[in-house]
Amino acid sequence: MRFDRYRVYQVWDLFIVLSVALVAVEIPLRLVLGDTPSLSLTALDVAIPLILLLDALAQWYRPEPVQPRARASRLASARVAWLSLDLLAAIPFELLASATMLPLLHLVKLARVAQLMRHWRQQAVQHANVLRLAFFIYWLLLTAHWLACGWLALGGNTTLADQVVVYGFRRYLRALYWSITTLATIGYGDLTPTTDAQIAFTMTVMLLGVGVYGYVIGNVTSILANIDMTRRHYLENMERLGAFMRYRNIPPLLQQRLRGYYAHLWENQLGGYDESSVLADLPDSLRVEVALFLRRDFIEQAPLFQSASDELVREIALQLRPVVYTPGDYIMRTGQYGRHMYFISRGTVEVIAADGHTVVATLTGGEFFGEVALLFSQPRNASIRAVDYCNLYVLDKDTFDQILARYPVFAAHIREEAEKRRPQPTPA
């Protein structure tokens, strides 16, 4: 398997986000519950700064995406600032001064986590909503935990009996219960503040809870609704289509074909986004890359492109326009004048002779048709009918002519094929 640096960084980033969560849980908890030195805690004291130090280096040497020159100086100072923050977080405070609050400084690393999350969301456009939800839960759980720690620090949730009996983990569990019920604005009232500090703290958490509640109502519902946006888009389109067809009394058979067409678009991941308009919005260099990627299967299977130069393949990939035909559709008819030739990406078509019923050939993925009329400026010499759903790419005559003029070897190849298919149409 090839060493993929990008993948390694992805896994490392995930590891860091989880490690920092562990740090953000463990350090405040240890501060409020008191230090109970054990082997695992000591191991953690060594492991945490080490991991954070490794990450400081990893982030410093991270291959950044190419930045425009004007921003280079700003970028350099931002990188130094981030490095300082990473290094600060990596200082082994526990080993230097464990009894103090200093270990809390590890938590500045959360700024890096927030930055990584932003980066992921930008990168994973497709799953941006799922990530948004996951990150929201991450921060919500951490907040609930911190508030529970704050509650413990203020000596909260201790009924008289608890004060005597409840220690350690069970004390924390109660505090977490208090923080979640208060944060979720449920507030059963079984754990109530008694001191002034506790009352002030509880009020603050209640206000925060109202904010969180508002956020959940406003955003989480829309996140959940958007998670499968393309599918929703498809279903909405189908519903609109259904209403339209009923309203206009479209015959049942035609209705079936229309539904089949959209279902085909959906299944082939062609629905929802118009490939050409997405490409049209891109800058040149990206457009070529994306067009080549989208059309890679087709280009790889087409014998015509096997011997073509990279330059030619890039040019053709850019100029192709995708179209879909449903079973039984006539893509062209004998005797018509045509200004396009077609490449088959997926599906099968029949070449029907001028008599209207003899099938002279069947063409499938990777093959092309409609070149004869363009090459010899003559009417179509046969009809072409789609046998099943066909994903085709269209090339218009002007581009076709330009390409033939510039790539003689390719032109010879096409001409040779066209000569074999050339017989003149016999008048029907």
Which of 272, 365 has the CB closer to ligand CMP? 365
In whole angstroms, the minimum distance from the beta carbon of 425 to ligand CMP comes to 8
Cα–Cα distance, 180 to 349 (Å, whole number):
63
Supply 287's token pair.
Answer: 């457009």
Which of 152, 372 has the CB closer to ligand CMP? 372
Which of 230, 336 has the CB closer to ligand CMP? 336
- Helix 39-60 / helix 109-123 crossing angle, nearest 10 deg: 50
The verdict on 94 binding ligand CMP (CB under 6 A) reads no
The verdict on 392 binding ligand CMP (CB under 6 A) reads no
The verdict on 371 binding ligand CMP (CB under 6 A) reads yes
In whole angstroms, the minimum distance from the beta carbon of 329 to ligand CMP comes to 15
CB atoms within 10 A of CB 112: 21
Angle at 232 between CA 226 and CA 237, to 5 degrees: 145
In whole angstroms, the minimum distance from the beta carbon of 3 to ligand CMP comes to 46
Cα–Cα distance, 259 to 91 (Å, whole number):
63
The verdict on 372 binding ligand CMP (CB under 6 A) reads yes
Kindly indicate which of the ranges 14-22, 320-328, 365-373, 388-396 contains the residues binding ligand CMP, using the contact rule CB under 6 A: 365-373
Q: Which segments of 330-372 are extended strands (E)?
A: 330-332, 340-346, 349-352, 359-363, 368-369
The verdict on 366 binding ligand CMP (CB under 6 A) reads no
In whole angstroms, the minimum distance from the beta carbon of 387 to ligand CMP comes to 14
Q: Which of 91, 265, 323, 360 binds ligand CMP (CB under 6 A)?
A: 360
The verdict on 369 binding ligand CMP (CB under 6 A) reads yes
In whole angstroms, the minimum distance from the beta carbon of 341 to ligand CMP comes to 7
Which of 290, 351 has the CB closer to ligand CMP? 351
Angle at 286 between CA 341 and CA 324, to 5 degrees: 35
The verdict on 193 binding ligand CMP (CB under 6 A) reads no
The verdict on 351 binding ligand CMP (CB under 6 A) reads yes
- Listing DSSP states for 373-389 in one string gives HHHHT---SSEEEESS-
In whole angstroms, the minimum distance from the beta carbon of 360 to ligand CMP comes to 4
In whole angstroms, the minimum distance from the beta carbon of 76 to ligand CMP comes to 58
Q: Which of 16, 48, 332, 390 binds ligand CMP (CB under 6 A)?
A: 332
Cα–Cα distance, 328 to 387 (Å, whole number):
6
The verdict on 86 binding ligand CMP (CB under 6 A) reads no
In whole angstroms, the minimum distance from the beta carbon of 333 to ligand CMP comes to 9
The verdict on 381 binding ligand CMP (CB under 6 A) reads yes
The verdict on 390 binding ligand CMP (CB under 6 A) reads no
Rg of the chain taking only CA atoms, in angstroms: 33
Nearest to 304 by CA among 398, 422, 404, 402: 404
Query: In Å, how far are 88, 96, 153, 204, 327 from 31, measured between CA atoms?
Result: 20, 15, 9, 21, 71
The verdict on 331 binding ligand CMP (CB under 6 A) reads no
Q: Is 115 helix (H, G, I), strand (E, B) or coil?
A: helix
The verdict on 395 binding ligand CMP (CB under 6 A) reads no
- Helix 408-420 / helix 397-406 crossing angle, nearest 10 deg: 120
Q: Do you know the residue count of the chain? A: 428
Q: What are phi and psi of 344, to 5 degrees?
A: -90, 120
The verdict on 380 binding ligand CMP (CB under 6 A) reads yes
The verdict on 386 binding ligand CMP (CB under 6 A) reads no
In whole angstroms, the minimum distance from the beta carbon of 362 to ligand CMP comes to 9
- Listing DSSP states for 27-80 in one string gives HHHHHHH-----HHHHHHHHHHHHHHHHHHHHHHT--PPP--GGGHHHHHHHHH
Q: Which of 361, 387, 394, 404 binds ligand CMP (CB under 6 A)?
A: 361
In whole angstroms, the minimum distance from the beta carbon of 280 to ligand CMP comes to 27
CB atoms within 10 A of CB 88: 14
Which of 292, 394 has the CB closer to ligand CMP? 394
In whole angstroms, the minimum distance from the beta carbon of 244 to ligand CMP comes to 34
Q: Which residue is nearest to ligand CMP (CB)?
A: 373
The verdict on 302 binding ligand CMP (CB under 6 A) reads no
Cα–Cα distance, 409 to 403 (Å, whole number):
11
The verdict on 414 binding ligand CMP (CB under 6 A) reads no
CB atoms within 10 A of CB 256: 11
The verdict on 382 binding ligand CMP (CB under 6 A) reads yes
Query: Which residues here bind ligand CMP, judged by CB under 6 A?
Result: 332, 338, 351, 360-361, 369-373, 380-382, 384, 421
